[in-house]
Amino acid sequence: MSLAPLTPVTDATLKSRADFEDFQDRARTRWDELWSGDTTVLSVSVGSCSVAKGALDVLAACRAIGGRTVVREVSCDGACWMEPWVEVKRPGEPAVVYAHIEPDDVRALVAGTLSNRAVGVRGDRPYGAIPPLAEHPFFKHQQRIVLANTGVIEPTSIKDAVARGAYSAYLKVLFDVSAEEAIAEVTAANLRGRGGAGFPAGIKWESGRRARVTPKFVVCNSHEGEPNVYKDRRIHEGDPHRILEGILIACIVCGAERGYNYIGGEYPLAIARFRQAVADAERLGLIGRNVLGSGKDVFFRVRTGGGAYICGEGSSLMYSIMGVRGQPRTKPPRSVEEGIWKRPTIANNTETLANVPDIINKGGAWFAGIGTERSKGTKLMTVQGSLVTMGLVEVPMGTTLRTLVDEIWGGMRPGHTFKGVQTGGVSAGALKEEHLDLPVDFDSLTDVGGMLGSGGFVVFDQHVCAVDFARYLTAFNRYESCSKCVPCRLGNPALVEILDRIRFGRGSLADLALIQRTSKHIVELSLCGLGQVAPMPLLGMIKEFEAEFRAHIVDGVCPAGVCPIGAAAPALVAAD
Ligand SMILES: Cc1cc2nc3c(=O)[nH]c(=O)nc-3n(C[C@H](O)[C@H](O)[C@H](O)COP(=O)(O)O)c2cc1C
Ligand code: SF4
């Protein structure tokens, strides 16, 4: 079934604001017709998580159905636990989402005889025995700004994106509001950086706008090299135009002539979908000279990383973009004074920039009305562990850890008992049961040794050994150290070596003091953020699970039964 009856939307270059508004009108009409027509619309979730579970075969099976069906390739909406899911919208009925679909299920799915796999119906009313999806605990607590279109639009369709509001905020900064007014909204929103440090974006943008040296650049940091974080990847896979719009807005209001997006090279689907978004925006005339006749020029480049975690650190990332080895440098000068090619560069995380279009459209006060006193808006959070409904969620800042773990992520799977939650990716300590009622925001977890960081959590159970887990986290930082400065280059391998002694049952109580002393040196003397926080997961694990460390050392047992105590230690333990 072709889409021929739908209103045609031009692919030609748009030369003016009126051209764009005509495109927008047609895209919206086409979108409405899609959902109100007499065809069955099948939307298949294709993201990096569902591809691993066979989503491409499901997509092919849907396409093979033919007849009066329209098949759309959307992305995972965060509910990895439902993958592969398919949304079915039959004429005159609301759209229903079905979980765990295999290619052989597709005929029954279209025939409407697969009701036991229906998870929920779109909208706020039940449909027969099927409850609204929005009432499912995984979705109930979520408030979606950044993820509003993820799993809804086809990420490779600029028409879908525009129909759902993409580039309307860009239009405003091109024609209606001044740079000062736009930055005032970002400042009023108190949008703090989502890359880990929580620095206010409005202050950074104002410094960027005031910088006199030209040309200036904007960089979107989409490197995301931590092992347990996947939020930025999913925004790229689900709604690449939102990121691109945020970057283009930053370019216009800061007076930057070129935007960059630096994406982790391990993310092929994210890269492909983002490149397609850039190509489509360029073809339509949203990037280039004299955009839509506004008199403003903006250009764009996509760059990909080679797999080194350190290339997510701001200054390393900029060297990497320039084709130089990615290693941090001392600051000042800050990158907003001297960044790429020694020119002022405004760098922000993907999620930070993806919030911007809605802030421009709805106002800073609207955004500041969500969240807590000092942490405004929503936050994307990802999780790993033995949980029932794992995935990516977007919740208002201040949602408690308990709501996240027990309700949104569905609690522990049968046979698994909650032991702790590792916070802040590889940069902070673990928290225990007594901390679960803390609100998750930029500040509350820090007081007890945790950290929001970029929003990646690992929930671990009784089968995980605190020493072994600490070794994994410390070893990650040790392998990812760029080796530029001595405390980090030599201190982290030393910590791994001590932990291996303990894991093999050869540790002594003096090792606990040695860990504290070595960590102090690494934290205080390292050049960049990697070294400055590298020992934190280990120190946090000792703080919360000291008895377990002592059991290895004093009693010669690993209570979780994980460590090779008593086994012959390999010759070169620390260099494995
Ligand atoms: C070792 C290391 C890795 C980092 N990786 C990332 C990353 O992958 N993405 C990111 O946005 N910020 C990362 N950061 C933080 C950036 O240096 C920078 O603070 C951030 O991109 C600024 O954007 P924001 O203000 O919007 O958060 C990393 C920092 C360090 C020290
Ligand atoms: S702290 Fe580590 S990662 Fe950072 S510059 Fe020094 S050696 Fe490199």
150 membership: H or E segment, kind and range: none
Yes or no: say if 274 and 240 are a contact pair by the CB < 8 Å rule: yes
317 membership: H or E segment, kind and range: helix 314-321
State whether the beta carbon of 530 lies less than 6 angstroms from ligand 2.
yes
- Pick from 222, 313, 484 the residue to mutate for probing ligand 1's pocket: most ligand atoms within 8 Å of its CB: 313
CA atoms within 13 A on the CB side of 432: 11
The token pair that represents 513 in the structure block: 């003091």
Judged by its nearest atom, the ligand closest to the C-alpha of residue 456 is 1
Per-residue confidence (pLDDT) for residue 5, from 0 to 100: 64
- Pick from 223, 313, 481 the residue to mutate for probing ligand 2's pocket: most ligand atoms within 8 Å of its CB: 481
- Which residue's CA is the nearest one to ligand 2's atom 6? 485
* DSSP string for 73-130: EE---S-GGG-S-EEEE-TTS--EEE-S--GGGHHHHHHT--GGGEEEESSSS-BTTB
Q: SS3 helix, strand, coil % of the chain, rounded to 5?
A: 45, 15, 40
The token pair that represents 438 in the structure block: 């803390």
CA of 483 to the centre of ligand 2 (A): 6
In a 10 Å sphere around its CB, with 0-12 CB exposed, 13-18 middle and 19+ buried, how is residue 11 labelled?
exposed
- Pick from 261, 331, 349 the residue to mutate for probing ligand 1's pocket: most ligand atoms within 8 Å of its CB: 349
Yes or no: say if 249 and 183 are a contact pair by the CB < 8 Å rule: no
CA of 177 to the centre of ligand 1 (A): 29
Q: How far apart are CA 248 and CA 218, in angstroms?
A: 9
Q: Where are the alpha helices (DSSP H) in 337-480?
A: 350-362, 364-368, 401-402, 466-480
User: Cα-atom radius of gyration of the chain, to the nearest Å?
Assistant: 25
CA of 312 to the centre of ligand 2 (A): 12
- Which residue's CA is the nearest one to ligand 1's atom 25? 193
Atom of ligand 2 nearest to the CA of 482: 8
The token pair that represents 281 in the structure block: 């925006």
State whether the beta carbon of 530 lies less than 6 angstroms from ligand 1.
yes
State whether the beta carbon of 326 lies less than 6 angstroms from ligand 2.
no
Judged by its nearest atom, the ligand closest to the C-alpha of residue 529 is 1
Question: Of the candidates 410, 384, 399, which has an alpha carbon nearest to the alpha carbon of residue 137?
Answer: 410
Atom of ligand 1 nearest to the CA of 350: 11
* DSSP string for 35-57: HHSSSEEEEEE-SHHHHTTTHHH
State whether the beta carbon of 527 lies less than 6 angstroms from ligand 2.
yes
Q: Dihedrals φ, ψ of 192, to 5°?
A: -100, 145
CA of 489 to the centre of ligand 2 (A): 7
CA of 424 to the centre of ligand 2 (A): 18
Yes or no: say if 515 and 498 are a contact pair by the CB < 8 Å rule: yes
Yes or no: say if 424 and 379 are a contact pair by the CB < 8 Å rule: no
Tell whether omega for the bond before 333 is within 30 degrees of 0, i.e. cis. Answer: yes
* DSSP string for 440-473: -STTTTGGGT---TTSEEEEEETTS-HHHHHHHH
DSSP state, residue 409: T
State whether the beta carbon of 484 lies less than 6 angstroms from ligand 2.
yes
Atom of ligand 2 nearest to the CA of 310: 3
State whether the beta carbon of 424 lies less than 6 angstroms from ligand 1.
no
256 membership: H or E segment, kind and range: none
State whether the beta carbon of 381 lies less than 6 angstroms from ligand 1.
no
- Which residue's CA is the nearest one to ligand 1's atom 12? 195
- Which residue's CA is the nearest one to ligand 2's atom 1? 531
- Which residue's CA is the nearest one to ligand 1's atom 18? 314
Atom of ligand 1 nearest to the CA of 222: 9
List per-block mean pLDDT (blocks of 10 residues) for the chain, which spans 576 residues. Answer: 62 92 96 94 96 97 92 97 97 96 95 91 95 97 98 97 98 98 98 94 98 97 93 97 98 98 95 98 97 97 95 97 95 94 97 98 98 96 96 97 97 97 90 95 91 93 97 97 97 98 96 98 97 96 97 96 79 48
Q: Which residues contact 483 (CB under 8 A, 6 or more apart)?
A: 489
- Pick from 186, 203, 221 the residue to mutate for probing ligand 1's pocket: most ligand atoms within 8 Å of its CB: 221
Q: How far apart are CA 456 and CA 209, in angstroms?
A: 32
- Sheet of strand 345-349, all strands in order from the earlier edge strand to the far edge: 299-304, 258-263, 217-222, 345-349
State whether residue 18 is helix, strand or coil.
helix
Q: How far apart are CA 568 and CA 570, in angstroms?
A: 6
Atom of ligand 2 nearest to the CA of 488: 2
